[in-house]
Structure 1
Amino acid sequence: MSREAGGAAASSASAPERQRQQEEDANQGVPAGRTPLERTADAAEELYRLRDTFFPRNPAEKAAALRARADDALAVLDSLPPEERKTPQRRAVYEFLRGKILDVFPDYHKEAEDHLSKAVKLNPSLVDAWLCLGNCIWKKGDLASAMNCFSLALSKGADKKILCHLSMLERSMAQGSEDQAQLVEESIKHAKEAVMLDIRDGNSWYNLGNAYLTSFFVGGSWDHMKLHHSVKAYQNAEKDETMKSNPDLYYNCATADKYLENYERALRGFEAASLKDPGLGADTEVQKIMSLLDKLDSAMMGQLRSKRSASSVSSLSEVNIKSSHKRATIGILSEGLNNAVAVLGKVVLFIRHDNVAPMYYLTCDLDQSYFILSVYGLRNEAHIAHSLIWLATVHSSTCLLSACFHS
C-alpha cells in the first residue's frame, strides 16, 4: 500500500524540493528515492529505534530528541498532497503513520488515538494500526480495550509482535487481579508462541524471560525453576545483536541472577545495564548487593571468631522432630536436592538488608557449624519457632560465602 500511495506524490514535487527532501532524509538516515509514505514509514522506524536505544543521563535530552525527530517525520508525511490520500487504503496508511509518530512518547496522547482509530476504521486489516492503537489505549489505563485491539490484530494471523504485546498486557492486567496466576500463565503461553514463530528473535525471548520472572514473584518467590527458565530466555535474547542495546534485558537478567544468588553474574548484569542507561538505577542495585555480601561475610566471620558456639546449640539435641526425615547437619549434605533429610539449626542472627526477599539468617547446626540460611518462602516443610529452625527436603547450593539452603 505504501508504494502505491506515494507513487504520484513524488512526481508532483519540484526538482529543488525533491533534492532538499533527499538531503534532509540523508541527514536522518532515511534512504533516498522513496515516496512520502515510504519515507515516513522509514522515519517512524528510526524514531522508535531512537526511543528504544537512546538513554542519556538527562531524560529531558531524550524527550527533546524524540520531539525533534517526530516533527521531522510529520513534515515528511505532510508533504503527501491531499489528493493522494483520498482513497480509504491510502488514507488509512496516512492516519496510521501519523498516529504512530504521535504515540512514540511515554504519555497518552488523544490525538494519536484519534488518528489510529481512523486508520483501523478505514482499513480493519491494517494489523500494525491495531497494534499501535492497543498500545496507545493501554497508556490511558483502558486495559480491556487494549486487549480487544491486540485480539483483533491476532485474528488476522499469527504475529510475534502482537503475541509479545498480548503477553505484556496480560502481565499488566495480573497486577492486583484475583486471576493473577492464571493471567501470568497466559502471558507465558503467548510468549512461548511468539518464540516458536521466530526462535532467533531476541525480543520474543526477552519477553518470555520477563514472563517467567513475573511468574516467580507471583508464585511466592520460591520456585527457582522459574528463575532458571527466565535466565535461559534472557541468554537467548542476548544472542540477537539488536537486543544488546536494551538496558532492561541486562537489568532483568541480573535481577533473576540476584534471586538465584549468582551474585557475580548479577553484578556484571547491573553494571552493564547502568552503562547503557544511567537513569535505570542499576548502580543502586550494585551497591545493595555489595552491602549484603559485606553483611553476610561479617556475620559469618564474627561467629567463627566467637567462643559461644557450644552454648548456642546445646538445646538442639533436646528437640524432638516428629517426622520420618533423617536428621542431618550441614557437613553431610550433598549439592542439590536432599530428599527426606531434616536439618535442625538455631537462629543466631537475622540479617537485615535492603530487599524484601529472601530473608537471611545466620544459623548454627548440631555440629556447631555456622551457615547462612536464605528463606524465599516458607511452606509446611519448614518450621521456625523460638529461634529454632528445621527444614525437611533440603536444597543445597553453593554461594560466594557458604552453603545456602532454600526451603
Structure 2
Amino acid sequence: MAEGGADPETEIKNRLQELVDQLYYFRDHYFESHSVEDAARKQYDVEQEMEKTMFQIEEMDDGWKNRAFFLMLKGKALNVTANYNMEAEELLSKAVKLDPSLVEAWNQLGEVYWKKMDVTSAKTCFLGALNHCKNKVSLRNLSMVMRQQRSQDADENSRNIMDSVKQAKQAVNMDPRDGTSWYILGNAYLSLFFCTGQNPKISQQALNAYLQAERVDKTASSNPDLHLNRATLCKYEETYQGALDGFSRAAALEPSWSEPVVREEQLLDYLGKLCGLINNKGKIRGKRLQNLLSTLSPTLLGHYGGSGGLQLKSLGALQPGKNAGCVVLGRVVFSLMPEERVPFTFGLVDAEGSCYAIMVYNMVESWGVLVTDSVTIPEPHLKQHNIQHKGQAFNFQSIRVDSPVRLLVNGKPQGPSTQASATVAYRPQSE
C-alpha cells in the first residue's frame, strides 16, 4: 500500500484520468483562453498538448502499460484530434479485449471508427457499450450512426432517422445539462425535418435544441458545425440574416474549412442578384410590361376565383405572414436558381406594377415557370426581408410556396408529379 493507505493502482488511474481530462478540457474550452483570431492555430495547439500528454503518460511505470484502463486512456488521448489515428484504434481495440465491460473504451473505439468512415464498426462499438451500461455518450453517438445508415428503401431511411431522434432524446434525458447531447438532438431533428415534409414544428424543435445546447454549455457556441447546421436550417426557413451570421461564425471558428465560406458567398451572391432583378423587374419594362399586365384576366384565377372563391388582392395589400382567404395574380418577369437549386425563385409583377420574389420549394427538377407566364398564388405567405451583412444591405418582399401543387400557371393546376421532397447536406463527421 502507498503512504497514507492509498491504493497505487487508484493513484495511477486518477493521475492518468486527470492528464487526459485536462487535454480534452483544453480542446473543448479553447476559445475561453484564446480569441477567434487564434482559430487557425487550434488544431496545431491541440496536437501540441496531445504530445505533451502522451509524453507524461509514457513516463508512467511500465507495470501498468498492459492494463485495460491504461490502454484506454492512452488511446483516448490520441483520439483528441478530428482525424483518424491508427495507433488509437490499436490501443482501444486491445483495451476492450482485455476488459469488455470498459464502456468508455467502446465509445472511444466507436469514435475512431467513425473518423475512419467505418459506420458499421462504429455502430457495433456503441451497441457494445450500451449492452454493458446505458450511457449518454453511446446513445448520442448511436444517434449519429443511425442518420448515416443509407438504404435504397426510403421508408427504412425514415425509420433510421426516427430512431436517431429517439436515441438523442434518451441521451438528453439522461443529462439535460450536456450541451453536446442537445446539439446532436438538434441535428437529428434537422434530418427529420428534411425527410418528413418540412414540418415547421420539427424545424422549431431543431432550433430550440441548438439554442439549448448553447444555454447549458458555453463551449457549444464555439462549435463551427452547430453554426453551419443551424445556418442551413435558417436559409431554408428564409431567415437569411441568421443564415449569413451562422456561415460567417462557422468560417471564423474553423478557418481551414471552406464549406461555410462558400455557402456564405453563394447566399450573398444570390441575394444580390435577386435584389437587382426585383428592382429592375427583370428585363421587361415599359410598354411590353404594360401589355403583359393588361392581360391579367380574372379567368386566370381558375378554381380560386369566381363566386365563393378567394379574394383577389394586390401584392402591396398583403400583410406579413399567411394571408388567408386571399389570392394574388401576376406575370413572371425573371427566374433565378441558387447554387443548391432550392428554392426555385422567380419575380412576379401584379397589375399595379409591384414586383415580389416568389420562393418555391419541393419541386421536381423539371418544374419551372417561364418569363411572361401568369402565376396564381392562393393564401400567399408574405415575408419582408431587411438584411445587413458585411457592409451589404438587402431589402425585399417574398412569398413562400411550399409546393408547386398550390399554384396555377397560365390558369392551369400543377399536378402531383411536380412535387418532390427536399434533401439537405449537413456536416456530421465531428458531431
TM-score of the two chains, using structure 2 as the length reference: 0.74
- Partner of residue 376, structure 2: 390
Give the aligned partner of residue 120 of structure 1.
Answer: 96
Kindly indicate whether the alpha-carbon contact (under 8 Å) linking 2:72 and 2:91 is maintained by their aligned counterparts in 1: yes
CA distance in 2, matches of 1:406, 1:54: 43
Deviation, 1:223, is: 4.1
The structure 2 residue matched to 1:311, chosen from 272, 277, 291, is 291
Is the Cα–Cα contact under 8 Å of residues 93 and 119 in structure 1 kept in the other structure?
yes
**Match of 1:194?**
171
Shift in CA distance, 403/64, structure 1 to aligned 2, threshold 3 Å: closer
Runs of 4+ in structure 1 deviating by more than 6 angstroms, as ranges, are 55-60
Q: 1:270 aligns with which of 247, 252, 264?
A: 247
Amino acid at match of 2:355: Y
Q: Paired residue for 2:410?
A: none
2:334 to 310, 331, 349: 349
Q: How does 1:90-101 map to 2 (within 5 A)?
A: 91-101=67-77
Larger RCO: 1 or 2 (CA < 8 Å, sep 6+): 2
1:403 paired residue number: 398
Larger mean CA deviation between 253-262 and 72-81 belongs to 72-81
Tell me the residue number matched to 2:391: none
* Partner deviation per Cα, 1:129-152 (whole Å, 9 max, x = no partner): 111111112233332221121122
| C-alpha distance in 2 between matches for 1:383 and 1:342 | 20
Shift, 1:85, TM fit = 5.6
The separation in 2 between residues aligned to 1:283 and 1:145, in whole angstroms, is 33
Q: Secondary structure at the match of 1:402?
A: strand
Identity of aligned residues (%): 32
Match of residue 205, structure 1, among 167, 173, 182 = 182
Alignment of 1:8-407 (within 5 A): 8=8, 35-52=11-28, 62=42, 64-84=44-64, 91-174=67-150, 178=154, 179-219=156-196, 222-239=198-215, 240-281=217-258, 282-303=260-281, 306-307=285-286, 308-317=288-297, 318-319=299-300, 321-322=302-303, 326=310, 328-329=312-313, 330-331=315-316, 333-338=318-323, 342-378=327-363, 387-392=373-378, 394-400=380-386, 401-407=396-402
Counterparts in 2 of 1:37 and 1:75: CA distance versus 1, 3 Å: farther
Note the C-alpha offset of 1:185: 1.8
CA distance in 1, matches of 2:273, 2:250: 25
Task: Evaluate the alpha carbon distance shift between residue 357 and residue 46 of structure 1 in structure 2; reply closer, same or farther with a 3 A threshold.
Answer: farther
Distance 2:256 2:44 in 1: 16
- Root-mean-square deviation (CA), in Å? 3.4
Which amino acid in structure 2 is aligned with residue 81 of structure 1?
A: D
Q: Which moved more, 1:359-368 or 1:318-327?
A: 318-327
- Structure 1 stretches lacking a partner, 5+ long: 1-5, 10-33
Instruction: Mark the CA change 1:286 to 1:161 in structure 2 (over 3 Å): closer, same or farther.
Output: same
- Does the CA-based 8 Å contact 1:8-1:84 persist in structure 2? no
Alpha-carbon distance in structure 2 between the residues aligned to 1:137 and 1:289: 35
Contact kept, 8 Å, 1:160 with 1:197, in 2: the verdict is: yes
Inter-partner Cα distance in structure 1 for 2:368 and 2:377: 7
C-alpha distance in 1 between matches for 2:334 and 2:57: 66
**How far apart are residue 383 of structure 1 and its match?**
8.5
SS at match of 1:373: strand
Q: Could you report, residue by residue, the CA deviation over 1:82-116 in whole angstroms, capped at 9, with x for unpaired residues?
A: 33467xxxx11011112212223444333322221
Q: Secondary structure at the match of 1:279?
A: coil
Match of 1:76, SS state, is helix
